[in-house]
Structure 1
C-alpha cells in the first residue's frame, strides 16, 4: 500500500515494485508513454519513475495525456510519471490490480527500510521467468532447488533451510490454485446439475409434445417424409428453445453478477472484474447448442418411432407405455439430483450457522478497528511512537469510546508472526527441531478493548516499555501445554535459543481464541508489549458504548488531524473483520442454498408436469373407473401413488449421489460431518413433502373428471 495525496488529504492506493525488465518479459507495451528502461533498475534511489494502471489513470486523472512527465507524490517521495499500462493489464495475480508500478530499486525510499534490498534473510519477493524452448517445469524446479542449495551453502547464517517453489505463472498463484480450483470446480458441478435438472424438464416437455403430434407425424410420414426429416424438425425446435433459454440466462447473469460480487467483504482489498466478453458469449452459445442437441435427441428418436396402423387407430391420444416409463425415469433422475443439491446446500447452511456461532475468543459487537502504516511516510521510530500515542489518546477522548488498544495485527488476519522459543527443562517432540509459537505485539488496554478476559496475572502497562524487563502474556492453551497444572505467571522462557536469545517473564494468562482460522484447534499463542517492540504498521481497536459505525469517520479524522498525509489501510467494525474469516463459509452456504432451492423448484415443476400429462392421457381410463363406481378418493390415491413412486425412486437414487458428493465438502464444513443425518433427513422430508403438494394439484383435478365427458372423449 502507498500513500498518495492530490487534494491535501492522503489516500491509500496499491503499488507493486518490479524489476526493470518486468514489462518486457511479459511482452507488455505501454498504452501511453513507455515502460521502464533497464538502467532505471540498477542504482537504488537514482530513478524515481512510476507507471500508472489504465484504470487509475482514467479514474483519477480523467485519462489526460498531459500527465506524462509530471510528478506524483507517493509515500512522501516525488516520482515522475513515464507511462500508462494497457487497459486489460492487471499484473500477474487475479484480483490484485496495482494502481502503480515502481522500480524495484526504489524499495528503500518507498518503505523507509535502507536494508531491505541488502538483507539476505528477508524473503519478500517472487521471481517470474520465461522458460527456454524445450525446458519444462520439472527441469525448472530442479534448477531452482539447486540454486537454493548453493545460496544456503554460500550464506549459511542467513539461509539455513532455503528452499524454492516453482509454479506456472498463472493469474491464480500455485499455492492457492488448488483451493480456487476446488471451489470453482464445485460450482461448475453444481451448475451442471442445475442444467441437467432444467434439461429434464425441457426433454419431458418436448417428449410430451412429440407424443401429442404423433398423428401429424404419421400423416406426414405416409405422405413421403422420412424419419430423418421428422427428427430434424424436433431437433431444430429443441435447439431454438435451448438458445433462447441461454440468451435469457445471459441477461439474468448480467443482473445477478453484481449481487454475487456483494458477497465479498468490504475489508478484502481484491478487485473482482467479471466482464461479459466473447468468451462468455461463446461458452454460453456452445453449452446451449449442445444441451439443445442432447435433450432433443431423445424426444426426436422416441417421437418418430411410428406405427401407422396403431397410431391412426389411437388417434394420437396415447403415447404408449414406453414414453411414460421414459418420462418417469427422467423425473426420478431429476429428483435424485435435487436431493443431492438440497443436501449440499443444507450442510453448507448449517456449517455457516456453526461458523457464526464459533467463539473467536474476542468480542466483535461495538468494536471498530483502524490500521495505519506510518512507514509509507518514512516516519522515524520516535515520530511513529508519538503519532500512535497521540492517536490513541485522541480516540480515547471521543464521546462513546470505552477503551482503546493497539496491536501489530488482529486475530484471523492473513498477516501472522511466529517465533521460536526455548523453555528450560522442556524438550521438543521427536522430529521437531524447535518450538514455534505465533505472537502478536499489543498495548495496554488491548485485552480490555478486545473483550479478551485475563485469567491469571495482569495486562500490560505503560511501564512495560523499552529498557524495562521483557514481559509476555500467554494464552491458556500455551499454559496447559508447557506448564500443565501450574500457574506460569512469574516464570520465564527465551525467545530464540537458551544461550543467545532474549529472556521474557510471563506476567499473565488470557483466554484462548482463534488466531488463523475459525476451524482451528486450540493453539498456543503469546503476546508481547508493543512498547518493547516497534511496529510502523499497527491496528487501533476501540470499544464503543454505541454503534461503532458512527465513530468510523471520527477515528479517521483524528488521525489526519495529526498528519493529513497519513492514510488508513483499513477501517471497519470487528463484525466486518470477522466477516472476512466467514467469507468462504458464507459464499458456499448462500450459493449452494440458492441452487438447492432452485433445483427443488425445477424438480417440482417437472414432477407436476409429468403427473398432469399422465392425467390427461388417462382421462378415458379415469372416466371408466368413475363410471364403474370408483370414488374420488380412490382416483386421488391412484394418481398420488404414481407420483410418490417416482419421488421415492428418485430419493433412493439421490441418497447415493448425495453421500458421494458431500464428502468433497468436508474441508469447507464447520462443526458438521458431510454425512450428517439431521441434514439428510431434513432435505429428504422437504423434498417428499413439496413433491406431494406439487402432485396433489393435478391429482385433485383428476377427481373432477366428468365420466360422461371422458367416455364421449373416447
Structure 2
C-alpha cells in the first residue's frame, strides 16, 4: 500500500494541470456539502444540551376554532394559563415535571450607579431542574417548606455575568434592582440556556421566579410557554392521549374559558426545527447533486487519462500484474486525490459555513452552535472516500481492461473499446445535464416564489418608519393609570421631535408571527353549539394607524374621545368585517371578546385595511384593535414615521424617553423595512442557496460537455483531417463534432425533465402562488441549460475547424 501511495503521488505530480482541476472540483463539491451539513448537524442532529433531551417536550396551546379557520390542526397559540398548568400537573401522570416561562424586558440597576437594559424571563421554580442543568456559579430557584417559591431573587445568564460584572464570583449575594424591584443574585446559568429556545423575543439575560398561584379569574389568560419532562418509559403519544382526555374534562367543568381549547404535545427538539427541516434537507439533496456532477466530471477526466496510460498499464500487465493489482493502484490514486480535495473542501467549508449562517438571518434556530465537530469531520471523510470510489471505479475498470487487451496483443484502440469509452463519457454527461436541470427547475420555482412574496402588499407603508419595543420599568408597583400616563407622555414628546410626522404605539407589530386570538361574539346574534370564532386582538394608540400607514376604509380611528371611562370602542380590519359582518356594515355594531363569562361590549367605529400579520405567504386573518388609552399595556411597540434617517431619529427618540423615565427599557430597534425583509428571510435563503447550487451545477455540466467534445476532437483528429482533405465543409465538421455532444445533452434534458417532475413535488409546501409543474419555469430551465450546452460544445469544436489535413495525417 505504501508503494501504491508513493506511485500515486508521482502520477499526480507529473500532471499538475489535471491535478489542480480535479482538486478544485472536489473542493467545491465537498466544501459545499460539508458547510451545509455543519448547519444541519447543529440544527437538526445535535441533541439539546440537556440530560436525556428526548424526554423534553413543549406543550402548545391550541384553539380549535382558530385552527379550523386557518386550516391548521397543529400549534396555533403561544401560551397556556397558569391555572391550566396547575390542572395538568395535578391530574396527569405522564410528566415528571411541568415548568413555565414567559419573557419581557426590564432595566437592571447593578447597585454601583450603573444600569443596563436586559431581556428578562420569568420562570417557575422548577425550570432549571426540569432541564437538568447545573449553575456555573451559585444555585437556582428553590421553594420553602410549604412549597411556595422564593421571591426577590434572580439568576444571571453567563454572558451578562461576564460582560456586566466581569465574571466576578462575588456577584453572589449582591442586591440589584430589576424593573424597580430589589433582588438578590443567587446564581449564574450556563451558556447552553441562552439561545432563545423557548422565547420568540430573544435570548434572556436574567431569570426571575414566577408563582403559579393566579386567581381562578385568570384561567382564560394564556401567555406562558410550557415545558415538560416525560416520565421514564412514557411516549409523546401516551402523554398526548392523556392530556386530550384531561382537556375534555376541563371543557365540561369550565365551559366559559376552556371550550374549544386543546393542547399539542411535541418533542422539544421537533418544536424548534419543524419549520426549517424540509428546506435544509432539500438543500442538502441539492448540494449532493452538485457533488455528483463534480465527480462525474472527474470520472470523465480520468477516463480520458486512462487512454494515455495504456502503454504503462500494458507493460505492468505483461510483467505479471493482475487486473486486481491494477485496479488497486488506480483506486489508491483516486482516493488519494479525493482525500486531498476533501481537506481543501473542509478548509473552504469553514468560510462557507459563516456565509450560510449570515444568509439565513435570524429565522434559523440553534445557529449559535454551528461549528466543526467530530460528526462533521466524519461526514467530510465519508464524502471524500465515497467521491473517490465514485469517480475512480469506472476509469479503473476501463483502464485495467485496456491494459489486458494491449498485453494480450489486441488492438488497444479497437472500435469496440473506443465505442465503450465514448458511450461511458456521454452517459456521464447526460447524467450531469439531468441533475443540473432538476436543480435549475427547483431554483427557478423558489426564485419565483421569493419574487412573488416580495411583491405582496404587506398592508402598511414601511418606508421611513422606525419601531422600538418598550416596557414598563417597574411593573410590580406601576398602576394601569401610571402606565397609561407614561405612554401618553412618550407619544406626545416624540411627536414634537424635529422631522417626526406621526408616532403611535402597538401591542404587536405586523409580521411578528405571534398569535393573540380571542373568541368573538356579536351582539344580538344567536350563538350555535360550536364555540365562537376567533379574531386576533391588538391594542394601539390613536396615532398608530397613521404612523404605520394603514388605510382607513370606513368610519373613524381612535382619537381623544376614546379614553378610560368612555364607552369602549374597537377598530376592525377588512378580513374581520367580511368574516363577522358579511353583506352589512359593521359600523355601530358591538362585539365582545375574551373567555370571561361577561366580557365588556365594544362598539365598532372603523374599518382599516388588512395586514399580513403572519407573513406575506399567509392570508390576512380577522383582527380587531382596542384603544390603548382604554386598555393600558405594560409592554408595547413605539412606531415613529419621520422625514429623517433612522439613526438620527433613534437618537432623538431615546433622548425623549430618557427625559420621561431613564429606566424605561428599549429593545428590538429596527425599521419597518427591516421587519418586512425579515419576513421573507427564509424564502430568500432557500432561493439564493439553491440558485447558487444550480448555477454551480450548470457550470460543472458545461465543463463536462466541453471536456467530452474536446476529447472527441483529439481522438478523431485523423478522421477529421481526411474528411477535410476530401472536401468536407466547416459546417459538416461542426455538425459532426457538436452532434455527438448534443446527443448526450438531449438525453440528459429528457431525463432531467422526468426527474424534475417527480422531485419538485417536495417543493409544493415551499411555493407561493405557484405550482410545482409551472411550465414557464420548466421551459426556462431547458432553454438555459441547452444554450449553455451549445456554447460549451461550440468552443472546443472550433479547434476541429482549424485542423490542417496534412498535419493530421503526418501525426499518424
Give the Å deviation of 1:303.
Answer: 2.1
- 1:127 CA drift (Å): 2.9
Quick one: distance in 1 between partners of 2:193 and 2:204?
A: 11
Equivalent in the alignment of 1:389: 488
- How far the C-alpha of 1:408 sits from its partner, in A, is 1.3
**Quick check: 1:70 aligned with 2:170?**
no
1:168 aligns with 2:272: no
- Work out whether residues 214 and 316 of structure 1, in 8 Å CA contact, stay in contact via their aligned partners in 2: no
Task: Return 665-674 or 213-222, whichever deviates more.
Answer: 665-674
Q: Tell me the TM-score normalized by structure 1.
A: 0.90
Q: Secondary structure at the match of 1:575?
A: helix
1:224 is aligned to 2:328: no
Decide which of 332, 338, 346 is 1:250's aligned counterpart: 346
Cα distance between partner residues in 2 of 1:532 and 1:182: 44
Q: Which residue of 2 aligns with 1:611?
A: 709
- Kindly state the Cα deviation for residue 625 of structure 1 after the two structures are TM-superposed: 1.5
Match of 1:58 in 2: 162
CA offsets 1:134-181 (integer angstroms, 9 cap, x no match) = 4433333334444545555665655445534333343x42xx543222
Deviation at 1:130, TM superposition (A): 4.3
Q: State the alpha-carbon separation in 2 of the partners of residues 342 and 265 from structure 1.
A: 24
Distance 2:523 2:278 in 1: 45
Mean CA deviation greater in 447-456 or 549-558: 549-558
Q: Distance in 2 between matches of 1:297 and 1:94?
A: 50
Q: Quick one: structure 1 residues 47 and 13, their matched pair in 2 at CA, closer, same or farther if it must change by over 3 Å?
A: closer
CA drift at 1:265? 4.5
1:30 is matched with which residue: 125, 135, 157? 135
Aligned partners of 2:596 and 2:328: how far apart in 1? 84
Give the 3-state SS of the residue equivalent to 1:128 in structure 2: strand
Q: Is 508-517 or 531-540 further displaced after alignment?
A: 508-517
TM-score between the two structures when normalised by the length of structure 2: 0.80
User: SS of the counterpart of 2:239?
Assistant: helix
Ranges in structure 2 where 5+ consecutive residues have no aligned partner: 1-103
Q: Does 1:187 find its partner at 2:291?
A: no
Query: Which residue of 202, 207, 224 corresponds with 1:102?
Result: 207
User: Conserved in 1, the CA contact under 8 Å of 2:437 and 2:782?
Assistant: yes
CA distance in 2: counterparts of 1:588 and 1:599, whole angstroms = 16
> Tell me, which stretches of 5 or more residues in structure 1 are unaligned?
109-113
- Distance (Å, rounded) in 1 between the aligned partners of 2:763 and 2:474: 42
1:204 and 1:480 map into 2 onto residues whose CA distance is: 63
Q: Which residue of 2 aligns with 1:131?
A: 231
Alpha-carbon displacement from aligned partner over 1:453-500 (angstroms, at most 9, x marks no partner): 212221110111111122122223333444444433233334369994
Q: 1:305 to 1:497 in 2, by over 3 A?
A: closer
Written as runs of structure 1 = structure 2, the 5 A alignment for 1:266-415 is 272-306=368-402, 308-310=404-406, 314=411, 320-374=418-472, 377-378=475-476, 379-415=478-514
Q: Secondary structure at the match of 2:440?
A: helix
1:237 is aligned, of 311, 333, 342, to 333
Q: 1:262 to 1:549 in 2, by over 3 A?
A: farther
Q: 2:73: which partner in 1?
A: none
Corresponding residue of 2:764: 666
Q: Could you tell me how far apart the structure 1 residues matched to 2:744 and 2:447 are? A: 28
Computed over aligned residues only, the root mean square deviation of the Cα atoms, in angstroms, reads 3.1
Contact kept in structure 1, 2:256 and 2:597, CA below 8 Å: no
Show the counterpart of 1:509: 607
**Which SS does the other structure have where 1:659 is aligned?**
helix
Compared CA separation, residues 35 and 76, structure 1 to 2 (3 A): same
Deviation at 1:503, TM superposition (A): 2.2
Report what 1:111 is aligned to.
Answer: none
Larger mean Cα displacement after TM superposition, 520-529 or 649-658? 520-529
Cα deviations across residues 560-587 of structure 1 (Å, max 9, x unaligned)? 2322222212111100111121122111
Deviations 1:537-559 (A, max 9, x none): 11111111233343123222322
Post-superposition offset of 1:363? 0.4
The alignment partner of 1:593 has SS state of helix
CA contact 2:571–2:625 (8 Å) conserved in 1? yes
Q: CA deviation at 1:357?
A: 0.8
More deviation in 145-154 or 340-349?
145-154
SS in structure 2 of the partner of residue 93 of structure 1: coil
**2:749 counterpart of 1:626:** no
Q: State the partner residue of 2:357.
A: 261
Match of 1:554 in 2: 652
